[in-house]
Amino acid sequence: MRTKNVMYFTQEEENLANLLIRTGMKRNVARVLVYLAHNPEATSREIERGTDLRQPEVSLAMSALAGQKWVGNREVKAENKGRPVKIYHLLNPFAEIVDAIEREKREEANIQISLIQEIRSYIQ
């Protein structure tokens, strides 16, 4: 039997994931992003175990992160027969991803403020 270390979220990582969730990020995406920020490379199975998410949840989160161009993968031949294993990694440093989230939220806030100003022009 093979032994392998499984990473679990620390309280600090839980707090970071919760902060990302409060910015509007989906829970599963936030958990996977935090996991990859602290683990340079990971297989889908490692991410599942480390984030306490199921395989479909990890797949959906990976699709969302890949859509933002924040995550990439490479395929490695499996030890046994079968499909190659995908190893995921962040394409940008975590700080740059946080900067991108901040820019997006600022743009959203500016749009909301301009809509409120437009509403005010109707009531004056």
Of 3.40.50.300, 3.10.20.30, 1.10.10.10, 3.30.230.10, which CATH number belongs to 11-91? Answer: 1.10.10.10
User: In 1-124, at which residue ranges do the beta strands (DSSP E only) sit?
Assistant: 42-43, 71-76, 85-90
Is the pLDDT score of 98 beyond 60? yes
Q: What is the pTM of this model?
A: 0.85
Supply the angle between the helices 94-123 and 27-38 in degrees, to the nearest 10: 150
Distance CA 54, CA 32 (A): 11
Span 64-89, pLDDT tens digits:
999 999 999 999 887 777 888 899 99
